[in-house]
């Protein structure tokens, strides 16, 4: 059973029956690829919207068609998405669905075969990323190695940690602890906290390899 214990700087989606139903579908190994994509996209949209809920706003007044003034708010600052290739690219459309013309950067990190450690192979980020709020996108947070390195890249480019939101569908307590030991001021927005990791460092109960199920199977 997934953990619902609170963690500092972890924004956990409300654990509703709807969300449980969505996760039941994408965890099922018999779910077709088309259904996996459809229901994963629904969860991704919820994650993006939750991240947007925590962006700063300022008061804004607008005139309505009834010649009234509505006192609302407007977002302060610009945002961009940064996906950790390749599984993170599955979350880009969900961000675009909520934010028109949003800019997207990419970071490629793979495991070094000799050291078994994550290694940075490629980055392409908006030139003004240091002035933006950043949604870092990767569906799974297991050990946290790739996410830590990707966040290191963002910080070296001048992004303040408190302006980074790391969005993922499923994470582990170990992943949260490892990630926040390196980047305690980054907010994690997640759908569920799984029981843990198995001997192969896969999330359990998990759902397998997200990238393979989304793109290949």
Given a cut of 90, whether residue 151 has pLDDT beyond it is: yes
Q: What is the predicted pLDDT for the residue at 112?
A: 72
| DSSP character at residue 95 | H
Q: Which fold has domain 10-215?
A: Rossmann fold (3.40.50)
Given a cut of 50, whether residue 2 has pLDDT beyond it is: no
Q: What is the predicted pLDDT for the residue at 110?
A: 87
Q: What is the predicted pLDDT for the residue at 113?
A: 66
Q: Can you tell me the distance from the alpha carbon of 42 to that of 63, in angstroms, rounded to the nearest whole number?
A: 33
**Coil, strand or helix at 145:** helix
User: Exposure string (b/e) for 18-29, b if CB count within 10 Å is 16 or more?
Assistant: ebeebbebbbee
| Token code pair at residue 16 | 């509703």
Q: Taking the chain, what is the end-to-end CA distance rounded to the nearest angstrom?
A: 26
Q: Residue 1 — very low, low, confident or very high, per pLDDT cuts 50/70/90?
A: very low
Sign for the CA dihedral angle at 148, 170, 85, 113 comes to positive
Strand duo 196-197 + 69-75: pairing: unpaired
Given a cut of 60, whether residue 79 has pLDDT beyond it is: yes
Predicted confidence (pLDDT) per residue in 160-217, tens digit: 999 999 999 999 999 999 999 999 999 999 999 999 999 888 899 999 999 999 998 6
| DSSP character at residue 118 | E
Domains of the chain: which residue ranges?
A: 10-215
Predicted confidence (pLDDT) per residue in 96-141, tens digit: 999 988 999 999 998 776 776 788 999 999 999 999 999 999 999 9
User: Exposure string (b/e) for 42-57, b if CB count within 10 Å is 16 or more?
Assistant: ebbbbbbebbbeeeee
| Token code pair at residue 19 | 């969300």
Given a cut of 70, whether residue 148 has pLDDT beyond it is: yes
Query: Which active-site residues does the annotation give?
Result: 111, 115, 209, 212
Predicted confidence (pLDDT) per residue in 27-76, tens digit: 999 999 999 999 999 999 999 999 999 999 999 999 999 999 999 999 99
Predicted confidence (pLDDT) per residue in 5-28, tens digit: 568 999 999 999 999 999 999 999
Q: Can you tell me the distance from the alpha carbon of 135 to that of 122, in angstroms, rounded to the nearest whole number?
A: 18
Q: What is the predicted pLDDT for the residue at 4?
A: 46
**Coil, strand or helix at 198:** coil
């Amino acid at each position: 059973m997934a953990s619902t214990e609170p963690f500092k700087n972890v924004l956990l989606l409300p654990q509703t029956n709807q969300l449980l139903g969505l996760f039941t579908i994408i965890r099922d190994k018999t779910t077709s690829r088309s259904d996996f994509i459809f229901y994963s996209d629904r969860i991704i949209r919820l994650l993006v919207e939750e991240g947007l809920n925590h962006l700063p706003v300022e008061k804004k007044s607008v005139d309505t068609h009834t010649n009234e003034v509505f006192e609302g708010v407007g977002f302060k600052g610009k945002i961009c998405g940064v996906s950790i290739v390749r599984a993170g690219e599955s979350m880009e459309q969900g961000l675009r669905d909520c934010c028109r013309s949003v800019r997207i950067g990419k970071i490629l990190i793979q495991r070094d075969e000799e050291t078994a450690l994550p290694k940075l192979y490629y980055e392409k980020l908006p030139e003004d990323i240091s002035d933006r709020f950043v949604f870092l996108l990767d569906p799974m947070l297991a050990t946290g190695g790739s996410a830590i390195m990707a966040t290191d890249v963002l910080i070296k480019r001048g992004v303040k940690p408190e302006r980074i939101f790391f969005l993922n569908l499923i994470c582990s307590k170990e992943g949260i602890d490892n990630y926040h030991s390196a980047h305690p001021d980054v907010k994690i927005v997640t759908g569920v906290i799984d029981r843990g990791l198995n001997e192969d460092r896969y999330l359990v109960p998990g759902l397998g390899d997200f990238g393979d199920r989304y793109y290949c199977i």
